[in-house]
């Protein structure tokens, strides 16, 4: 059954992210995009809406306030950069509460609570998103996962090193970046580094090589060696696996 949905958000980059995600699922159809609550009310008076992707902080009327004004609201998935409204959102019977930047994997999990996408199709789509959006320089930047070499954490920002683009600096923690990356494609090796499995050219028990760059494996991340050598015998200290 086709699910008719609308996006209600005042930020064009956030709208673009959701449009891209929604268009990848044949179960969903976008019937409208609204930049504020009043546009959403007018649209819902003329269109049947099954599911609403709703931002919270919007001018004039907040997303949570919009929900309270509707006599027969559609199902809602809140999409916001703020954690503070989660309790209120679930009191309004929200299906889910997604924090921006929203990963494709997390988006799928939320949508599947409503649409019941077949498991085989869900796994196929989830393994091939191809990209993640990150906020940088007041816009959402699409980062192609196959282009990522490694990700490096500094005191109050993170740098994504890419093979075909210049490094991208974003104001996030490494933990938050790790949470939106596919686990089968990326590996945390140090409190300051995440690497792409496919870009590793050599490694020892103490470091990983990506091209000419050597990155340390942290002591508390020694278990990553088992992920790097699932079918290999243990290596002596300092010996490369190639």
pLDDT digits (tens, 9 = 90+) for 93-121: 999 999 988 888 889 889 988 886 555 55
Is it the case that residue 1 has pLDDT exceeding 80? no
Q: CA-CA distance, 52 to 75, in Å (whole number)?
A: 6
Q: In order of start, what are the domains of the chain with their CATH numbers?
A: 3-126 (3.40.50.2300), 139-228 (2.40.50.1020)
Q: CA-CA distance, 209 to 166, in Å (whole number)?
A: 20
In the prediction, which pLDDT does 121 show? 54
Q: How many CB atoms lie within 10 A of CB 116?
A: 11
**pLDDT average, residue stretch 178-204:** 89
In the prediction, which pLDDT does 128 show? 53
Q: CA-CA distance, 213 to 34, in Å (whole number)?
A: 46
In the prediction, which pLDDT does 216 show? 93
193 has which bridge partners? 152, 190
**For the chain, percent of residues with pLDDT exceeding 70:** 87
pTM of the model: 0.61
């Amino acid at each position: 059954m086709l699910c008719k949905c609308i996006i209600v958000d005042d930020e064009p980059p956030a709208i673009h992210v959701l449009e891209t995600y929604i268009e990848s699922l044949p179960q969903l159809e976008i019937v409208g995009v609204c930049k504020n609550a009043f546009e959403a009310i007018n649209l819902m008076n003329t269109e049947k809406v099954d599911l609403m992707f709703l931002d919270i902080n919007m001018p004039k009327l907040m997303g949570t306030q919009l929900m309270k004004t509707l006599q027969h609201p559609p199902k809602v998935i809140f999409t916001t950069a703020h954690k503070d409204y989660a309790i209120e959102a679930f009191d309004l019977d929200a299906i889910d509460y997604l924090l921006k930047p929203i990963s494709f994997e997390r988006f799928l999990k939320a949508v599947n609570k409503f649409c019941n996408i077949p498991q085989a199709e869900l796994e196929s789509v989830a393994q091939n998103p191809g990209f993640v959006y990150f906020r940088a320089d007041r816009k959402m930047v699409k980062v192609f996962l196959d282009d990522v070499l490694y990700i490096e954490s500094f005191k109050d920002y993170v740098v994504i090193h890419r093979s075909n683009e210049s490094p991208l600096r974003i104001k996030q923690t490494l933990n938050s970046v790790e949470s939106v990356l596919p686990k089968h494609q990326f590996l945390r090796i140090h409190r300051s580094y995440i690497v792409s499995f496919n870009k590793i050219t050599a490694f020892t028990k103490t470091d990983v090589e990506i091209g000419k760059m050597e990155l340390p494996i942290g002591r508390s991340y020694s278990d990553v060696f088992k992920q790097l050598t699932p079918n290999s015998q243990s290596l002596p200290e300092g010996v490369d696996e190639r």
